[in-house]
Chain A
């Protein structure tokens, strides 16, 4: 990675963009999400079942990123808020205008509970040497996103592989 700009090299391995979800984990989005995929799992619809199995109402694990997607507009915001900001930093910093995500791994730890105030940060794990694929020439990068509840317990971690490129 010797030819990487220094400010990109300096990002690698650091916990960046710590943030707290804009609102607590809530049932409205849980019901709407389950409805959107016709998920009848009683864990998310029946409080007695959730209490019996998990100790109380929880969110579907795969909703983890939902709790951090910013409002489209919010008072006082002067620029667009972007999820996975490192991805966009790399596109801009490496002058790679196009990008795709090729791989996403999610690991689920403690359940996410209704009312949780979740926190997250991002870590740039690696940036590859230049590669040429059928899309164009660019670089692959791996970004981890780690998620915690208000008690500091890890609830999930995600790893994204992105490919930023210029069309040939």
Chain B
């Protein structure tokens, strides 16, 4: 895993894409890992007949875990999430190839000395944006900095 420092981050930078072939197991494992037992995430008949969707679909809490993984794959373990804003637009189904993409929208160091990157991340299937996410993530300002050590007024997410 890479260690990213703020000097390596600039506005307009693209994060590496993450493509992933979704299966029914992806959906069911994710739902149960997040303790989401609602049937539309594991019961094909319920999802298609009752909800009218094309198949079972990925639940939002597990999708949040996918976004976290995508972001911290880029930052390394020193990266610390501050804020995430999700907009849910469409669903992700088995046999979809979902692709995560991200762009750096801004870089700043706050008054407490914490370095931040503002990201726009989305997950798409074909040309369909399924969920978009605005992210504020703390990134070390240098090799000796550790955002996880920040507490109280030094942590301003």
Say which residue of A29, A60, A66 sits within 8 Å of B68 (CB atoms).
A60
How far apart are the CA atoms of A6 and B120 in the complex, in Å? Answer: 40
- B interface secondary structure, majority: mixed
A105 touches B72 (CB 8 A): no
- In the complex where A53-B148, A109-B157 touch, is A66 in contact with B1 (Cβ < 8 A)? no
How far apart are the CA atoms of A104 and B67 in the complex, in Å? Answer: 13
How far apart are the CA atoms of A92 and B51 in the complex, in Å? Answer: 19
Q: How many A-B residue pairs have CB under 8 A?
A: 105
Q: Considering only CB atoms, which chain A residue lies closest to B34 in the complex?
A: A66
B60 touches A104 (CB 8 A): yes
Q: Considering only CB atoms, which chain B residue lies closest to A100 in the complex?
A: B88
Task: Tell me how many residues of B have a C-beta within 8 Å of chain A.
Answer: 37
- Cβ of B64: which chain A residues have Cβ within 8 Å of it? 62, 106
B69 touches A39 (CB 8 A): yes
B69 touches A107 (CB 8 A): no
A39 touches B68 (CB 8 A): yes
Chain A 64-76 per-residue mask, 1 if CB under 8 angstroms from chain B, else 0: 0110010010000
- In the complex where A43-B77, A53-B77, A69-B35 touch, is A106 in contact with B65 (Cβ < 8 A)? no
19 further contact pairs, Cβ within 8 A, besides A29-B35, A53-B77: A32-B32, A36-B62, A37-B30, A37-B68, A42-B1, A53-B146, A54-B148, A60-B68, A62-B81, A63-B61, A65-B61, A69-B34, A69-B36, A69-B61, A104-B86, A107-B83, A108-B81, A108-B157, A110-B151
Q: Which residues of A contact B (CB under 8 A)?
A: 29, 32-43, 49, 53-55, 60-63, 65-66, 69, 72, 100-111
